[in-house]
Amino acid sequence: MHFSPEAHAFAVRYLDELRTCLDELPMDRIAQVADRILEAYRKGQLVVLMGNGGSAATASHMACDLSKTILGNTPGRTRFRVMSLTDNVPGLTAWANDVGYEAVFAEPLQAWLQPEDVVIAISGSGNSPNILEGIRVARSLGAYTIGLLGFEGGEARLLVDLPVVVPRSNYGIVEDLHMVFGHLITAYLRETLQQQETLQASHGELESAYPGRW
């Protein structure tokens, strides 16, 4: 199969930028996000995701992975209370039509959130009015807010408790890496829970073999 030199050169440039951006990511902040989501799981707290456009798809994908994929081959594992606000299209369009598009996340959050729940706002620019209004409502209700952002983080960077910014103005690169974050966090939870369960099982076997010693 033939390909154009232009397409080849573009692919090289795009992937080179992606690799460079990966090396520049704030790993300490990514680790903080992973640990906070694990804490939410262990405490039975609700995690709510929101985003527009491609970020809406990322929110849905991440909610799917956290609710289903972390179970792995352990169907008896505790389920994660997680949802994406972008998945209720009738509700989203009703709020947009009757109140305004800036309310499509803020209004549902008022029905679902409890203090200490977690809200993850996914936005390339960090300046979408509905994302900002959702963050404000989440904070007013005592939720912990995380921003997966791009560019320079926008206004959302200043509003959320924990911002993670992909420092690029290319929406494709930003959204690529936000999807990586979702897969990374899901894999971290699965591996951590598996290690915990293996350790508990080994302690149980030792207790059975040597009662009273463990």
What pLDDT does residue 214 have? 47
| CA-closest candidate to residue 69, choices 84, 80, 58 | 80
Q: How many Å apart are CA 22 and CA 16, to the nearest integer?
A: 10
CATH architecture of 36-191: 3-Layer(aba) Sandwich (3.40)
Cα atoms in the Cβ-side hemisphere of radius 13 Å centred on 23: 6
Q: What digits encode the pLDDT tens for the residues 100-158?
A: 999 999 999 999 999 999 999 999 999 999 999 999 999 999 999 999 999 999 999 99
For residue 175, how far is the Cα from the chain centroid?
A: 12
| pLDDT string in tens for the chain (214-residue length) | 788 999 999 999 999 999 999 999 999 999 999 999 999 999 999 999 999 999 999 999 999 999 998 888 887 888 999 999 999 999 999 999 999 999 999 999 999 999 999 999 999 999 999 999 999 999 999 999 999 999 999 999 999 999 999 999 999 999 999 999 999 999 999 999 999 888 876 655 555 555 655 4
E strands in the chain: 47-51, 82-84, 118-123, 144-150, 162-166
Give 58's contacts (C-beta < 8 A, 6+ positions apart).
51, 122, 148, 175, 178, 179, 182
Give Rg (Cα) of the chain: 20
Q: How far apart are CA 33 and CA 30, in angstroms?
A: 5
Statement: the pTM of the whole predicted model exceeds 0.85: yes
